[in-house]
Structure 1
Amino acid sequence: MAEEKDKSLKEEETVSEEVAEEAATAEESGTEEENELSEAESRILELEEQLASTKDSLLRKAAELENVRKRVQRERLQLFEEAKAGALEDFLPVNDDLIRTMQAAEESDLDGSFMEGLKLVSDKFSDVLEKHGVKRIDETGVPFDVNLHDAMMKQPSEDMESDMVLQVIESGYKIGDRTIRHAKVIVSE
């Protein structure tokens, strides 16, 4: 019986050792699995941070590109308007000469067909300027405005109050709010 007890104790010890080994193995594999999960979770977090950073960078680049596109569009329109104003400005003296010619022709006795042809050319020129939004600055009796007028001289006036346009020496022109050429005027004192 003592042998059987020893044998059963040995079996129990063997079983206990096996259970302890299995527990240790399970514990190690559990720790390894936890380590693997922990490493995977940290890698996922790292990748999510990189994704967020890349997404933020991409959104910033897209916004910057949109701003550049809008700025280039504004600059392009501004350059076009400046070129248009510059080209029209070159034709303004021709228009002034044409108007002076019309006024001189009306005062003299010229052939009717010549006057009619001159009027047609003058009207065409005026239509082209109007088509491009060019307005003539040639009003008298209005307050002097440094944005529209260049004062060539001041004269006393009994009819008008001070700083009013008495006479337009040379017409000015503007496109919208932009003055292409200031009107040269005589101002009341």
Structure 2
Amino acid sequence: MKKKKAQEGKIKLAEEKEVEKKEAAEEKEVEKKEAAEEIEVEVKPEVEPEVEPEAQDKQAEEEAEEKTGEEQTPLEKAQAEAAQYYDRWMRLAAEFDNYKRRSARQFAELVQSANERLVTQLLPVLDNFERALNHEGDDETLESFRKGVEMIFGQLHDVLKAEGLKSFDSVGKPFDPNIHDAIMQMESEEHESGTVMEEVQKGYTLGDKVLRHTKVVVSK
């Protein structure tokens, strides 16, 4: 009986030792796993947050600008400023040139307008001279007077011609409302309908502008 109990005690003690060995082995295995996980965490690189392509481009541009600004030397900065000043100067020069041209054109238009007013006021004088010259007479005194009037008329006409005044012939030409004023229509077998038959008052141009329309009689 005693022997049997002693054997059972030995068996139980052996089983306890076996259990202790298993527990120790399991503890070692757990320690190994934990150590391996710690090493993996240390070695594993940090994952950066994803950035959208647009944000990446913008960030790259900002970094490039900052880098460019930082890398510019004093000479490069001075050259950049000089280029800006030159560009501004060129713009101002162009604006001033346009201003001069505009002023010259306005002055020429002002002079032309003044000439138009003066010449317009002198046209009745020309008309009166022409009427006097068209008057016929046999008297020697009247003929002498006529020659004097003709000379004055020629001088006045030359002065106005030098300023750009020109008359235009209309008789026998088609009626043109741009240069003619029809004051009468008459039947005519010699002229086609719409033809200028007679000039009642001469028309004039000053430069390229019609200063006065010719008053005409038109065939119908």
Which of these residues, 154, 174, 183, is aligned with residue 205 of structure 2?
174
Which ranges of structure 2 fall in alignment gaps of 5 or more residues? 1-68
Tell me the residue number matched to 1:8.
none
* CA-CA distance at 1:156 after TM superposition: 2.7
Greater C-alpha radius of gyration: 2
| Matching residue's letter, 1:132 | E
CA–CA separation in structure 1 for the residues paired with 2:139 and 2:176: 38
Please state if 1:98 is matched with 2:123. no
CA–CA separation in structure 1 for the residues paired with 2:138 and 2:132: 11
Tell me the residue number matched to 2:156.
125
Greater RCO, 1 or 2 (C-alpha within 8 Å, sep 6+)? 1
CA, structure 1 residues 99+110, in 2 after alignment: closer, same or farther (shift >3 Å)?
A: farther
Alignment of 1:46-125 (within 5 A): 46-104=77-135, 106-107=136-137, 109=139, 111=141, 112-125=143-156
Which of these residues, 171, 187, 192, is aligned with residue 156 of structure 1?
187
CA–CA separation in structure 2 for the residues paired with 1:133 and 1:41: 64
Tell me the residue number matched to 2:8.
none
TM-score, length of structure 1 as denominator length:
0.71
Contact 1:137 1:148 in 2 (8 A): no
1:122 is paired with a residue of what secondary structure? helix
For the aligned residue pairs, the C-alpha RMSD in angstroms reads 2.1
Q: Deviations over 1:15-65 (max 9, x none)?
A: xxxxxxxxxxxxxxxxxxxxxxx8572544443332222111110110110
| Matching residue's letter, 2:153 | S
1:93 is paired with a residue of what secondary structure? helix
1:174 is paired with a residue of what secondary structure? strand
Contact 2:197 2:216 in 1 (8 A): yes
Name the % identity. 34
How many residues matched?
151
CA–CA separation in structure 2 for the residues paired with 1:138 and 1:107: 26
* CA-CA distance at 1:110 after TM superposition: 5.8
Alignment of 1:36-55 (within 5 A): 39=70, 41-55=72-86
CA–CA separation in structure 2 for the residues paired with 1:133 and 1:186: 27
CA–CA separation in structure 1 for the residues paired with 2:169 and 2:124: 14
CA, structure 1 residues 145+107, in 2 after alignment: closer, same or farther (shift >3 Å)?
A: farther
Alignment of 1:20-35 (within 5 A): none
Contact 2:181 2:215 in 1 (8 A): yes
